[in-house]
A and B are shown apart, each in its own frame.
Chain A
Amino acid sequence: MIESHAATPEIHGHPALQHHFENMEQQREAGTLGMWIFLVTEIMFFGGMFLAYTLYRNLFPAGFVLASNHLDITLGAVNTGVLILSSFTMAMAVYFTQTGKLRPQVWCLVLTLILGLTFLGIKAVEYHEKYTDRLIPGRIIPGAHFGPDPHAFHLQAGAPELAQIEMFYWIYFAMTGMHALHMVIGAGLLTYLIIFSLKRRFDPEYHSPVEVIGLYWHFVDIVWIFLFPLLYLLGRHLGGH
């Protein structure tokens, strides 16, 4: 009737079981639930920026379309594909952990990491383009304050849309920058997973870390699934260049 604590490790002897949990099932459930709740905080965190985006897109449709059409749609689309593929390999990594196939599991994790870094690389190329076009808003970069060539946007110098374009790029850098930061953190977590997978720490009974970090990775993918159309696509049908 009364379960003694001292007996617990003998009954469920998995080395990864922490002392305050009764069994692996409870530990896994707590871990997954914890990550889901953390993702709720992430949704609210990005939600604040989506709110600002929605407001200013509504207030300044003209400037936002001009600025949005200036983004490189090819790089954006390729990056979307890269991220979706990385989500797929991550899902497969979870699958192989669950089924106990540890070699393909490590490979999937490595692939996910490479794809994540590819995404960041492409993003860096895009950022650099914005830097050379002097599209980085405000005076963040010393010596390269915001000051794009108005003709690149088919505008006269001093056109009121330029302020709106700066606003778009401020939001663009805030959102994609925050997303990229999450990718960097995700890459760190993947590295941890790879190291511990090579040490054979995970098995079908204990795979919570792979699963939980997987949830995080998919969430970051979802954020991009929304960022891509909002930042790159809306207003393309209106032309531009």
Chain B
Amino acid sequence: MSEHIVSVRVYITIFLVLLVGTALTVWAAFVDFPFGLNTIIAMAIAVTKATFVVLYFMHVRYSTRLVWVIVGSALFWMGIMFAFTFADYFTRSRLSIGT
């Protein structure tokens, strides 16, 4: 398999998207969204930006399935670490003994 060369236009587009994303996230930070949506919005923008970097700057969109699996497994294992640690912390207060 020969490698895919991403065109300059794609790179420039992604660059502009990232800049817009940065401006957007700064603007959104000062708006008081209801239901505590601020955190979710900020994270959604960050995830979107990161996804663009991974897919285009890091060429994952054009890479083998193995690279997808590697990226996925990293996120999966971070998910394990978060999920199981917080499975402890977020259920502790339900106890009547200890802290």
Contacts and interface: CB of A to CB of B under 8 A. Distances in A.
Are A and B associated in one complex? yes
Contacts, number: 121
A233 B50 contact: no
B31 interface: yes
Interface in B7-42: 8, 11-12, 14-15, 18-19, 22, 25-26, 29-33, 38-39, 42
B60 to A, nearest CB: 9
A47 B85 contact: no
Contacts of A50: 78
B63 to A, nearest CB: 8
A139 interface: no
Contacts of A87: 15, 18, 53, 57
Contact of A84 (B6, B19, B45): B19
Contact of B85 (A37, A51, A92): A51
A145 B54 CA distance: 40
A99 B7 CA distance: 10
B11 A226 contact: no
Contacts of B86: 54-55
Given A44-B74, A91-B57, A234-B38, A225 B29 contact: no
A48 B39 CA distance: 20
Nearest to A28: B3
B22 A84 contact: yes
Nearest to B85: A51
Interface stretch (A155-163, A178-186, A214-222): A214-222
Contacts of A33: 66-67, 70
Interface string A14-40: 000000000000001000110011011
Interface in A37-95: 37, 39-40, 43-44, 47-48, 50-51, 54-55, 58, 73, 77, 80-81, 84-85, 87-88, 90-92, 95
Give the dominant DSSP class at A's interface: helix
A237 interface: yes
Interface residues of B, number: 45
Contacts of A235: 38
Contact of A98 (B5, B82, B85, B89): B5
30 contacts: A28-B3, A39-B74, A44-B78, A47-B81, A51-B85, A54-B86, A55-B89, A77-B22, A80-B22, A84-B18, A84-B19, A84-B22, A87-B15, A88-B18, A90-B57, A92-B8, A95-B5, A95-B6, A95-B8, A98-B3, A218-B53, A222-B50, A222-B54, A226-B50, A228-B46, A229-B25, A229-B43, A230-B42, A234-B29, A234-B42
Interface of A: 28, 32-33, 36-37, 39-40, 43-44, 47-48, 50-51, 54-55, 58, 73, 77, 80-81, 84-85, 87-88, 90-92, 95, 98-99, 214-215, 218-219, 221-222, 225-226, 228-230, 233-238
